[in-house]
Amino acid sequence: MMIYFFIYSDFRLNLYISLAKAYERKGYEIFFVVQDTLSLSKLKRTKFKKRLIEFPYYKNKKLSRSNLEHYKDRLKMNTDVLSKNIGLEQSAYLYHCMVDFIIKLNPDSETIFFAGNGVHVQDIALKDLKSKYAYRTVFTELANIDNRVFFDPIGSNCHSLFYKMDELDNYYKGESESHEKWKAEYIKNKIEMHIVRQAKRMSILDKVRYYKSTLIDLLRNRPSYPALRIRSGYTKYKIFGKKETHKSGEIPRLNYCNDLPENYLFFPLQVTNDAQILINSNYDNYLALDYYKQQAEKNGLELVVKIHPAERNIDFIKNIVEKSKTKGFYLSNENTFSLIINSQQVGVNNSTVGFESIICNKETTFLGKTFYSKLLDDEWFGFYIFNYLFKADFFSGEIYETDVIGKISFYFNLEDNFYMSQKRNIRFDEQ
């Protein structure tokens, strides 16, 4: 059996190296596929086989105009495109490059691909060819819980198997008492630490390596994300860590309310270009704000709003400040978890804040599609926390699962049973 680990950047590198070692100990053949110089240089410290994807299409224009337009239409609602990680045309070239690479591998049912979170351009290519070659896929994402990672055989969030599953069958037989005990421990630790694990900031030396690698990627036509952004013309957006603002000038200083009302509904805004809003919700930030203002008034509550710390759209920020005055709601910059704890209700679009609100046993409302909405059900909550999540540290790569191969097989069994159930339902409907 061949195991491929696709590395789009070094974000998942430590985790996937640890997984590769676990598979190697069981005699599996391992292959790393990378698309950037920086990840390749880090992988050179390991003995695993590796291949760097080159991007020749800028030179010889192998991709026909008709195929280019077809791919662009396929990818126009892709997360990488909507969030301006990559331009649409460069996404089409990357998709074609990925499809061509997979076809040349000629994978089969004994092949496993570990990839991104299921929504990147490369992930779409893997999904589109999956039924033809019958290979297995594993997509991974941060779980927003220490020492846990979200693994799924078909995607993440509302594109995941976890979201699509209708019934638990006999997969989980937990008790509410254990769920409440876990929640209490989580809240206790959260209050004491006030820290959310994130990727470490780059040192000066790391930045030098990053700039050097990006230059090499540009010169050698390698499809790293920084190189693709530059080729896409996003020279003022996320280049070498810089962020775009939609209007010249500094982000305005905000006068936050330090004296919040006793009874309130908390609504955290998401970043305006958040792909989760753009793809998986019929509500933008403004519509969601209007909705929760009405809900707060209906329930005799005040509305407390928090602007996302990563928001860089100055016009949007100014509009929210003005609306706080005309519509009468509070703006706060307090710790998000504290705002949840002290609220009566929490309303989100499809933010991860909704997940923490459920943990805190707050009345929680979701407007957009998200798998977190399933966790409002106590059994699904227990299944997610105790059975579904993979025990590992996403950033260090340290794995705590006692049977790594068995846990991955668990996801594949869920996938097989789900599609068998779908086929049975179709046959039943046709009778």
| pLDDT tens track for 352-365 | 999 999 999 999 99
Dihedral (CA of 151, 155, 157, 162) sign: negative
CA angle (397, 400, 405) in 5-degree steps: 90
Q: pLDDT category, 201, cuts 50, 70, 90?
A: confident
pLDDT, tens digit, 9 for 90 and up, residues 109-122: 999 999 999 999 99
Is 79's pLDDT higher than 60? yes
Whether residue 256 lies inside any domain: the answer is no
| pLDDT confidence of residue 251 | 60
Whether residue 383 lies inside any domain: the answer is no
Q: What is the dihedral of CA 317, 320, 324, 325, to 10 degrees?
A: 80
Strands of 149-152's sheet in order across = 49-52, 29-34, 2-7, 111-114, 136-142, 149-152
Spatial separation of the C-alpha atoms in residues 113 and 100, rounded to whole Å:
15
| pLDDT confidence of residue 130 | 98
- Shared domain for 362 and 405, answered yes or no, is no
The domain of 141 spans 2-175+393-430
Do 312 and 169 touch, CB atoms closer than 8 A?
no
Structure tokens at 232: 């896409």
Give the residue with greater pLDDT, 77 vs 262.
262
Spatial separation of the C-alpha atoms in residues 75 and 131, rounded to whole Å:
19
With b for 16 or more beta-carbon neighbours within 10 A and e for fewer, the 193-231 pattern comes to eeeeeeeeeeeeeeeebbeebbebbbeeebbbbbbbbbb
| pLDDT confidence of residue 60 | 47
Whether residue 190 lies inside any domain: the answer is no
- Shared domain for 278 and 310, answered yes or no, is yes
Structure tokens at 9: 């950047």
Domain-terminating residue out of 337, 369, 401: 369
Phi-psi region of 36 (alpha: psi -120 to 50; beta: other; left: phi over 0): beta
Cα 8 to Cα 34, 36, 82, 146, 253: the distances in Å are: 6, 7, 18, 23, 37
| pLDDT confidence of residue 239 | 44
301: CATH? 3.40.50.2000
Burial of 107 per CB tally in 10 Å (0-12, 13-18, 19+)? buried
- Shared domain for 424 and 310, answered yes or no, is no
Q: pLDDT category, 253, cuts 50, 70, 90?
A: low
- Shared domain for 208 and 284, answered yes or no, is no
DSSP result, 98-161: HHHHHHHH---TTEEEE-SSS-SHHHHHHHHHHHHH--EEEEEEE-SSTT-EEEESS-SGGGSH
- Shared domain for 82 and 229, answered yes or no, is no
3-state secondary structure of 29: strand
- Shared domain for 10 and 113, answered yes or no, is yes
DSSP state of 392: B
- Shared domain for 106 and 66, answered yes or no, is yes
Q: What is the mean pLDDT of the chain?
A: 90
| pLDDT confidence of residue 257 | 78
Burial of 395 per CB tally in 10 Å (0-12, 13-18, 19+)? middle
pLDDT, tens digit, 9 for 90 and up, residues 299-345: 999 999 999 999 989 999 999 999 999 999 999 999 999 999 999 99
pLDDT, tens digit, 9 for 90 and up, residues 137-158: 999 999 989 999 999 999 999 9
- Shared domain for 37 and 101, answered yes or no, is yes
Contacts with 224 (C-beta within 8 Å, 6 or more apart), sequence order: 9, 35, 36, 37, 38, 213, 214, 217
Structure tokens at 59: 């030179």
Quick one: average pLDDT of 406-415? 97
Checking DSSP bridges between strand 136-142 and strand 149-152, what pairing results, if any?
Answer: antiparallel
Structure tokens at 169: 């069958």
Q: Which amino acid is at 168?
A: L
Is 237's pLDDT higher than 60? no
pLDDT, tens digit, 9 for 90 and up, residues 39-56: 999 999 999 999 988 776
- Shared domain for 91 and 209, answered yes or no, is no
Whether residue 188 lies inside any domain: the answer is no
- Shared domain for 24 and 145, answered yes or no, is yes
3-state secondary structure of 304: strand
Q: pLDDT category, 250, cuts 50, 70, 90?
A: low
- What is the percentage of the chain residues whose pLDDT exceeds 90? 74
| pLDDT confidence of residue 196 | 54
Kindly give the residue spans of alpha helices, DSSP state H, lying in 12-87: 13-25, 37-43, 57-60, 65-75, 79-82
CA-based nearest residue to 20, from 316, 290, 399: 399
Whether residue 72 lies inside any domain: the answer is yes
Query: Total domain count for the chain?
Result: 3
- What is the percentage of the chain residues whose pLDDT exceeds 70? 90
Residues in the chain: 431
Place of tokens 């106590």: 378
| pLDDT confidence of residue 246 | 45
| pLDDT confidence of residue 169 | 76
Do 276 and 304 touch, CB atoms closer than 8 A?
no
pLDDT, tens digit, 9 for 90 and up, residues 327-338: 999 999 999 999
3-state secondary structure of 30: strand
| pLDDT confidence of residue 240 | 46
- Shared domain for 222 and 362, answered yes or no, is no
Is 234's pLDDT higher than 70? yes
Structure tokens at 340: 């949840």
| pLDDT confidence of residue 344 | 98
- Shared domain for 236 and 268, answered yes or no, is no
| pLDDT confidence of residue 422 | 85
